[in-house]
Chains A and B, each alone.
Chain A
């Protein structure tokens, strides 16, 4: 009993000492938020859905496109696409099938400022793209304005033309698109692309108005359009704190503080100089 009482009183005494010590600490009424919000960085892999659906709906189309991107910083991504395409095209007097694969690589810049926890993108980007493909003329009729032998339309030739393989095209693309996180790490993506052909094998004896990946090539124009709708999965590799955009007020405050500090330092330096001078004079 005696010891118990002694223990309690000494414990109380200890607390009091601790309390006074604690109160000696300055209380910061406006503490800086030190919580960092971590965001996932990693490789996002996906597949184009529109090509798959088109392939199911249209028997004359086969296509596959895989998409990937890797996050470099808060807003910058390295992005690439690889795909194959085989499409039968029917023109008035001939049908042909371009068949080949393409690769595009470039960057995407996210212009959308997410709230914490969101991972969406509205992005602008650029690509350098290269395609390797072949053209096969399936059937052709001979254009002839004389109507004696073929009174209606043009006669379908009984000749078959060889497949022109080893063709290539090089082009630049501007990409505008959006990526939405549907569920955790699963994204739905859509983009439109404007292409500008740099190089295109077009001076040979076959129709070459469709390049896999670039789509329709218009005669006497180097521009083309494309789109993709894809679904992708983010494989998180590491986490980095979110970089917040500075608000106007905070920026103003920071600049003001910096300038104040500068002027104080300046004044101090001037004072130091004066002092040195005067001390020299005294000597």
Chain B
């Protein structure tokens, strides 16, 4: 019996409690790259005057371009990766008054797409690429955007241009 008790004391158990120190470096969700072109001369780039890009229901402009700049011919625009559409306001001749109200020529642009989740690693989880990218310009009385073409309907690499905006 004594030996049995001794036996019972041999409790075999291994409990590893490691702090999770996984850092995701393997991948990231790409952004959409747009270029601004001259509607009169479709081969030349043309920067919109004092451009401001604000997401719908957002209070701050996107940070990938400097707000109010007149020299933007190419920009990276973040899309919402967990839904299937993103709406932006592209404002030219923009000015913000003391109360934070934006005025200028505001064009509303909706990007619809199908997010395609890709599992990267244990630490990263899922990123998405976007498929079937379709831009929809909301018509108003004074659209500064004249034409939009889709160069690449799928976004998996943010170094190539996906959308061309003519104005």
Q: Interface on A for B, CB 8 Å cutoff?
A: 91-94, 115, 118, 120, 122, 140-146, 148-150, 154-159, 161, 176-178, 180-182, 188, 190-192, 204-207, 209, 219, 225, 227
With both beta carbons as reference points, the residue of chain A lying nearest to B114 in the complex is identified as: A159
B80 (CB) vs chain A CBs: closest residue: A149
- Tell me the dominant secondary structure on chain A's binding face: loop
CB-CB under 8 A from A154, the residues of chain B are 82
Once the chains bind, are B14 and A180 in contact (CB under 8 Å)?
no
Whole-angstrom CA separation of A188 from B4 in the bound complex: 11
Q: Which residues of B contact A190 (CB under 8 A)?
A: 10-13
Q: B86 to A149, Cβ gap below 8 A?
A: yes
The contact sample of 28 A-B pairs, CB cut-off 8 A, is A91-B125, A93-B126, A94-B126, A118-B4, A120-B7, A140-B126, A143-B24, A143-B27, A143-B125, A143-B127, A144-B29, A146-B78, A148-B62, A148-B63, A149-B58, A149-B79, A149-B80, A150-B80, A157-B82, A157-B115, A157-B128, A159-B117, A188-B8, A205-B118, A207-B125, A225-B14, A225-B16, A227-B12
Of the listed residues B8, B12, B55, B126, the one surrounded by the most CB atoms of chain A closer than 10 A to its CB is: B126
- Interface 1/0 per residue, B112-134 and A, CB below 8 Å: 00010111111111111000000
Report B70-101 residues with CB < 8 Å from chain A CB: 78-84, 86
Residues of B within 8 A of A188 (CB): 8
Interface membership of B42, Cβ < 8 A: no
